[in-house]
Amino acid sequence: MRLNQLVLCNFRCYADCEINFTDRVNLIVGENAQGKTTLLEAIYFLSTAKSHRTYPDNELIRHNESWFYLKGLIAAIDSSPHTNLEPHKLQPSHLMTVEVSNELSGKKRFKFNGVLQKKLSQWIGQFNVVFFSPESLTLVKGAPADRRRFIDILISQVNSAYLNALQNYQFALKQRNELLKQIRSKQASPEFLDPWDDILIAEGVSIIQTRVRAFSELKTHIQAKHAELTGNREILNLKYQPSPEKIDNAMEQGRQDSVTGEAEERFRRGLQSSRSYDILRGVTSLGPHRDDFKLILEAQSAGTMYFQEAKAFGSQGQQRTIALALKLGELELIRETTGKTPIVLLDDVFSELDEERSAFLFELLGRLNAQTFITSTRQEAWVPDMGDCRVITVHNGQVN
């Protein structure tokens, strides 16, 4: 995919802005708090209908205004992850426009090629992006919810059925949690939980199984990218941890005919056994909303191999490298699944990487075969070596 043009109106610090981009690398340069990251945020919002900063949408509206509007002109390019063609030689299969508008009242509209999209699932996946930012470190250092959000956004971009299941599950979970509180205060009977349990079980097992399959493919890509970024000096191991535990055992053992039934029965037993505890706390303690995955580093020091959880023991550089590997693995999975290469957004990517890791990343970027947007406070020394690179200067919400 290639973003040819971006239009912003009343989006954060941008009053009215139209920018054209090159197919290869777009380096966005400016001092802090001038609007560099906002450009990446706008592209990400067009793709996912969310801000990577997870702010309420109304906070994206420019001060003293009542709405914002974004528009992107996209070239949908069919590409193979193994293509030998340079990006500027790839021919777009078609052009498309994506538009988003949002009002202070909360009214939000999405249009694809001028047609209003009635459901979010019709919008997500129209064009895909991979975004690395300082906030991406939460994938390593943050709570399980941050890692679940990463998996959910990734899968939703390539699987609309997954997004529907996730929305159904989240609705049922909210209703069940409200009912648990009512039961705790003697305002409802426990048997009223049964129909909500049925929805949680059906949608929850579908979500977990989809996550497990996607994670298995993603893991291979992440480990390969991490090896490239570290010069094969460190090994990254990843372990998915579904809730209920071991719900994916049957699938791992290949019993495809019975996996769903076994998983649903295991989930049902778990919900029943934890019901008293859930009523006491007023929340559902079991299900894919509790899933997580662990990141374990293997490295050698003084001839001895050591294993350590990256969240607790990894250095800032190691954690940043892992977060980058997760994002680059995401890119490869999307490309492998859809046949199209997502746009890559890299915000402040080179800070806190030493020279060696920065060199590995620079070499890897050169091989990505993806349109890339990079923010920096200075014009990087590698610009002359990158070939097709446009330098965009940003100052106080103005672009030159």
- Residue 218's pLDDT is 96
- β-strand pairing of 25-29 with 389-395: parallel
The structural domains of the chain, ordered by start, are: 1-128+349-400 (3.40.50.300), 136-339 (1.20.1050.90)
Q: Provide mean pLDDT across the span 219-223.
A: 96
**Which position has the higher pLDDT, 304 or 205?**
205
Please give the helix or strand (H or E) that residue 397 lies within, else none: none
Q: What is the pLDDT of residues 26-37, one digit of tens each?
A: 999 999 999 999
**Among 300-309, 363-372, 385-394, the least confident range:** 300-309
Rounded to a whole number of angstroms, the distance between the first and last alpha carbons of the chain is 24
Looking at residue 250, its pLDDT comes to 45
Alpha-carbon distance of 374 to 348, in angstroms, equals 7
Q: How is residue 197 written in tokens?
A: 């349990």
Q: Kindly state the average pLDDT of the residues 357-372.
A: 82
Name the pLDDT band for 376 (thresholds 50, 70, 90): confident
Angle between helices 160-184 and 144-158 (to 10 degrees): 140
| pLDDT for position 189 | 96
- Output the pLDDT for position 52: 85
Higher pLDDT, 153 or 91: 153
Instruction: List, for residues 78-130, the tens digit of each pLDDT value.
Output: 554 443 333 333 444 578 999 999 999 889 999 999 999 988 777 888 889 99
Share of the chain above pLDDT 90, in %: 65
389-395 and 398-399 as β-strands: parallel, antiparallel, unpaired? antiparallel
pLDDT tens column, 252-301: 444 444 578 888 999 999 999 999 999 999 999 999 999 999 999 987 76
pTM: 0.84
**How many Å apart are CA 280 and CA 313, to the nearest integer?**
35
